[in-house]
Amino acid sequence: MSAASIFFRKPWVRRAGIVLLIVAMIVLPLVLPDFANTTIARIGVFAVAVLGLNLVMGYTGTVSLGQIFFLGLGAYVTAYGVSQGWNIVVVFALACVIPAAVGLLVALAAARLGGLAIAMVTIALPIVGVPLAKRLSEFTGGSQGMSARFTSAPEWTGLYDDQWQLYIVLLIAGIAFLLTRNLVHGKYGRAFAIVKGNESVAASMGISPYRYKVLAFTLASLLGGVSGFLYMVVVQYTSPETLSFGHSITLVASMVIGGAGSIIGSLIGGAYYVLAPQLTNVIDPSLTAALQGAILLLVLFVLPGGLVSLPRIWRRRRSSSTNPRSRERQGT
């Protein structure tokens, strides 16, 4: 182990890093321009959505192609609750609970399926969700969608709206990431890994693959609802387009590019989801889809573990290049 690795593993270094991160989260919204605050807030929104997808796909190996449905459902619940004048805490709770309940029902029916079958079930969610959102116009606004402006900065804060919204996203997304990290690094995370590795081995150890798949899918749906609430905090408008299948595929690509089975990879995936279309549009708007596909293929071939694996690969190659025995083996 290198001296740098030993240094960063020291408890006081980790505590200092956490303090610096908290200070940065408090200070940055105050000094960044409004477009930067909005961009970071949007990254936080989709990072939570990718985090939920990562929980079910990256950690348990269960295919899910409908995560955008739960984001859209959370957004619609938020918009409807705000339009009815409900307490915002109640709205947030419902935006979490309702997608989680729907996800639980889907998981109970689909978790016993495997591979292509469960993929087809989850594909149906956004495909059915779009026409359903158009038809239930009393609750969704139909094709016109719904707007909900409820995150203007209170006067007593002295903040601009973009700063206030970013603080809300940082707080809620930070809690979601912290709780998920604790989950996957505990006994549930170990059970997820065993189920992902071999379901027969998991069953022989008394770990029910069905139970843990249902749990992962339900929690992923809940995180989708959280991201839907945050979506309305930042965007303040939703429509059937929010639930489109194309967005769901982009979420999957973002998870793969960021790194499956990684908390940090989910954050990178959220950044990719927001920034990649902006960068490809600058190059050529007509080639946006093709360029994003090329990026995905490049990452899959060069970094199968996603961008999060880049430092690990770099350290491995550096250590092998400085190790005389490694060079002798390479020479032979």
In the structure, what pLDDT confidence band is assigned to residue 332 with cuts at 50, 70 and 90? very low
Which stretch of 84-98, 110-124, 238-252 has the lowest confidence by average pLDDT?
110-124
Q: Does residue 233 carry a pLDDT above 80?
A: yes
Contact between residue 267 and residue 47 where contact means Cβ atoms under 8 Å apart: yes
Q: Does residue 51 carry a pLDDT above 90?
A: yes
The pTM score is 0.90
- 309 exposed, middle or buried (CB, 10 Å; 0-12, 13-18, 19+)? middle
Give the H/E segment covering residue 265: helix 263-283
Q: What is the pLDDT of residue 312?
A: 79
Q: Is 174 helix (H, G, I), strand (E, B) or coil?
A: helix
Contact between residue 93 and residue 247 where contact means Cβ atoms under 8 Å apart: no
By percentage, how much of the chain surpasses pLDDT 70?
91
Structure-token pair, residue 81: 């609750």
Q: What is the pLDDT of residue 329?
A: 47
User: Which amino acid is located at 72 in the chain?
Assistant: G
The single residue listed with the structure tokens 């429509």 is 239
By percentage, how much of the chain surpasses pLDDT 90?
52
